[in-house]
Every structure is written in C-alpha cells, then in structure tokens.
C-alpha cells in the first residue's frame, strides 16, 4: 500500500489511500507465482514507518527500500552465455541430447533472472520436468518388451484412401532432385528445430511467467505420454521403412524385418508404390530429413541426425510427436501472442507437417493424429484451468490482499476496515 504525502503547504497528517482491488485472472493470462514472489517485486514495495512517537497529529514517513539495478549484469552475462553456446555448437555440432540442451538452458535461465528471482527456482521447477521426460525416454521401447505387432499397412492404407496415392511418394516424384535444392535447407532446419524450439520456448516462458510455464509443461508431458501410449499399443513403421519392404516381407507384423535395414533403392511392390521423378531425382522414396545441411556445407549435422535416428525407436510413427508438440506450441501460444506470433507459430506447425511427409518421416495420418492429440490436451487444460486453477488462484490472491491491507492498517494505525 502506498501512503499519500501531505498536500503542498499543508501541515496535516498524511492520508492513507486504499489500493484498488486487482481484477480477477483472465483465461490464458499468467497469474502470480505460487512457489515464491519475484525478488524484485518484493524489494520494490514501499516500507511504512511510524515516526510520530505515538502522537495523533504527527505525520507518517514513507521510505522505499533501495535495490541494486542488475540489468547490465544480466545483459553482460547473457552475452557471455550466448557466445559460449555458439562456440560449443561450432566445435561439437548441434546436440540432440536433451539433457545437455536443458543444462545450457538452465544456465541461461539463472542468468536471465539475476536480481529478479532466486536461482534455486530453476531447480525446483525444472528438475521434476526433466525427470518425467527421462522416464519417458526409458519407456519408449516398451512395445518391444511387450512383443506388440508392428503395423506396416495401417497408415499407408489410410493415406491411400484419403489421397489415392501415397503423399510421400507423390511429393518425392514431383519436387525431389538428385542433389538437395536450396529450399531443403529449410526442411532440414525445421526438422532439427523440433529438438530445440519447444524447450527453448518453455525456458522463455519460465523466465517471463512461471505460472504459464507450469501449464505448458503439464501439456507437454501429457502429449508426450499419451503419444507413448499410442505407439506402445500401436507401433507403426514410417514411410521410409515401408518403401523398402513388400507385403510378403511384413506379413507377420515384424518389429524390425531385414528389409528395413537394406540400402535405399527401387523395391518392386513396396508398400508406398512407385516414385516417378519429374526432375532428376532418384526413382524411390528416400529418408531426406537431413539432406539440406549439405547445401551449406554442414554435413556433420546430417551425420549427427542419422546417428540419433539410429538410436531411436524406428517404429514409433503413430502419432507423430513432431506434429503434436509443434501444434501444441501453436495452440498454447495463440491467445498469448499478437498476429505476427500467431502466424509464425501456426506456420511452424504446418511447415513441420510438410517436412515430415516430404522427407518420408511420417504419413499424413500420423500428423492428423498428432494434431488431434494436441488439440485434445489443450481443450482439457483450458477446462481444468477455467474451473479449478483460476478460481483457486483468485481466492489466494484475495486472501493475500486482505492480509496485506490488514498489515498496513495495523502499521499505520488508521483503522482501515478490511472486508472478509
């Protein structure tokens, strides 16, 4: 609470002013941190000191606590941090190790909140999130342990039913070249960005508003684990693998038949159908998600990508988490950004979908399931947020405001009545 100074030339005591009530939280907007208030906010609050010595006619002195402005310290350290990240990537390449990425981001978050928030809050908030994602990684191959049959025809047949052809085979017939064109730089960057952008955006949210970050983290974890359930119960092969195999070779729903490890080439009677290149591209479906890096001379990035892909679950195509998490990001950010932000986030999800189909990473069927999963999680989140979280936070805010008014009234001795 602030206390009005005496009017110019007046000798009477200062008159306390009662602050207006804050409006209730609006859906989609950030609310006050539940773990701890920002250091800067608490230090900036004015302190009320009674210097009257008990006299009724004496004025009240208002003092404001001084805080150190650490803006330039933050900015300087952020520049050092950014330079260190760039140097690391230039020497060791772009890492796909989620743990390393989050460590880099955690250091950046600590720096970005110097003078604003306690550094320990990074650990408090992010450690449970990281442990949950590690659990997700450990259980990705549970379908193999369970001996679940792998579906080779399901998504391919749905795509054929929707379009009359395999969209992947058609795109690689129409616009693929033997050597990667300049625009495949974009598809390679977009595909690789999946391993960075969602986490970097989450880190930015955390710095700006921890309450909003918690909502996004909950949605992120929900999408990941529901997706895990999907490709545990229905493991499915992606287009690049189906293009190497025939119906006879996968008749028994094998998890990793020999055909999927064969070099890329023409396979008569493969599950996707023929590729008839209009340009000088190869007449078969290829996995080309990293080809664009050769255009700019960064073959190392393609090698790292293939190495990471080789260690991943090769038959976890349904649903596409690439599509699900990028659409989740677009839908979550939609009410929080302006027109340009809406265009960029939603455009990112659509360009990712094109990239996944063109490069033979996913079927359209996988992408539609991923988008549906993201939309369902957002709908449930909004329902829970509106019915439970916002009313609870509104009650807490109201209680804190009553306690603050009561404390100020007691300190000033003005007898301000605080409504229950």
- pLDDT above 50 for 97: yes
**Pair 25, 207: CB distance under 8 Å:** no
Residue 5's pLDDT is what?
A: 41
The CA R_g of the chain, rounded to the nearest whole Å, is 28
- pLDDT interval class at 22 (50, 70, 90): very low
pLDDT digits (tens, 9 = 90+) for 120-144: 888 888 888 888 877 777 766 676 6
> Which among 150, 163, 318 is positioned nearest to 226, based on CA atoms?
318
CA gap 334, 148 in Å, rounded: 38
Q: Torsion angle of alpha carbons 155, 157, 161, 166, nearest 10°?
A: 80
- pLDDT above 90 for 340: yes
Residue 311's pLDDT is what?
A: 56
The 3-state DSSP class for residue 3 equals: strand
Residue 349's pLDDT is what?
A: 96
Residue 3's pLDDT is what?
A: 39
- pLDDT above 50 for 216: yes
Helix (H) or strand (E) holding 64: strand 61-64
- pLDDT above 80 for 90: no
Query: Helix 120-138 to helix 197-208 angle, to the nearest 10 degrees?
Result: 150
CA gap 196, 97 in Å, rounded: 10
- pLDDT interval class at 49 (50, 70, 90): very low
- Tell me 246's DSSP state: B
Q: Please, which residues bridge with residue 47 across strands?
A: 63
| Cis preceding-peptide flag for 335 (omega within 30 of 0) | no
pLDDT digits (tens, 9 = 90+) for 228-284: 888 888 888 899 989 999 888 888 888 788 888 888 888 888 888 888 888 888 899
Least confident of 190-204, 322-336, 361-375: 190-204
Angle in degrees, CA 410, 413, 418, rounded to 5? 55
pLDDT digits (tens, 9 = 90+) for 381-412: 999 988 888 888 888 888 888 888 888 888 88
CA gap 57, 111 in Å, rounded: 49
- pLDDT above 70 for 55: no
How does DSSP assign 375-415, residue by residue? HHHHHHHHHHIIIIIHHHHHHHHHHHHHHHHHHHHHHHT--
Residue 312's pLDDT is what?
A: 61
pLDDT digits (tens, 9 = 90+) for 170-180: 999 999 998 88
- pLDDT above 60 for 420: no
Residue 397's pLDDT is what?
A: 86
What pTM was computed for the model? 0.74
Helix (H) or strand (E) holding 143: helix 142-146
- pLDDT above 60 for 89: yes
Least confident of 2-11, 88-97, 313-322: 2-11
Residue 190's pLDDT is what?
A: 92
**Token duo for residue 19:** 């602050």
- Tell me 16's DSSP state: B
Higher-confidence residue of 309 and 36: namely 309
């Amino acid at each position: 609470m602030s206390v009005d100074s005496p009017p110019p030339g007046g000798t009477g005591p200062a008159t306390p002013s009662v602050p207006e009530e804050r409006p209730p939280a609006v859906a989609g907007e950030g609310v006050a941190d539940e773990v701890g208030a920002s250091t800067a906010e608490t230090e900036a609050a004015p302190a009320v000191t009674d210097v009257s010595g008990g006299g009724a006619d004496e004025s009240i002195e208002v003092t404001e606590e001084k805080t150190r402005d650490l803006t330039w310290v933050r900015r300087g350290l952020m520049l050092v941090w950014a330079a260190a990240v760039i140097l690391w990537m230039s020497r060791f390449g772009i890492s796909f190790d989620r743990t390393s990425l989050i460590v880099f981001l955690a250091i950046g978050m600590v720096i970005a909140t110097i003078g604003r928030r306690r550094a320990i809050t990074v650990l408090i908030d992010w450690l449970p999130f990281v442990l949950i994602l590690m659990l997700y990684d450990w259980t990705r191959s549970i379908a193999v342990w369970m001996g679940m049959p792998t579906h080779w025809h399901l998504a391919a047949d749905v795509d054929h039913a929707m379009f009359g052809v395999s969209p992947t085979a058609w795109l690689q017939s129409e616009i693929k070249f033997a050597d990667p064109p300049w625009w495949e730089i974009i598809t390679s960057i977009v595909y690789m960005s999946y391993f960075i952008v969602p986490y970097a955006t989450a880190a930015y949210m955390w710095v700006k508003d921890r309450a909003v970050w918690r909502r996004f983290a909950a949605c992120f974890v929900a999408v990941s684990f529901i997706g895990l359930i999907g490709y545990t119960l229905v493991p499915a092969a992606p287009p690049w693998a189906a293009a190497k195999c025939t119906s006879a070779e996968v008749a028994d729903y094998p998890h990793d038949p020999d055909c999927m490890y064969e070099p890329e080439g023409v396979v008569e009677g493969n599950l996707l159908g023929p590729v008839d290149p209009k340009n000088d591209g190869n007449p078969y479906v290829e996995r080309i998600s990293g080809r664009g890096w050769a255009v700019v001379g960064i073959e190392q990035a393609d090698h790292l990508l293939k190495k990471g892909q080789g260690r991943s679950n090769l038959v976890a195509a349904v649903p596409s988490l690439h599509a699900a998490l990028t659409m989740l990001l677009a839908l979550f950010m939609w009410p929080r950004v302006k027109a340009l932000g809406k265009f960029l986030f939603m455009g990112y999800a659509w360009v990712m979908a094109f990239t996944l189909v063109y490069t033979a990473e996913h079927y359209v069927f996988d992408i539609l399931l991923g988008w549906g999963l993201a939309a369902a999680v957002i709908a449930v989140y909004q329902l829970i947020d509106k019915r439970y979280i916002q009313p609870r936070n509104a009650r807490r805010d109201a209680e804190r405001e009553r306690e603050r008014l009561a404390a100020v009234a007691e300190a000033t001795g003005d007898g301000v009545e605080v409504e229950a």
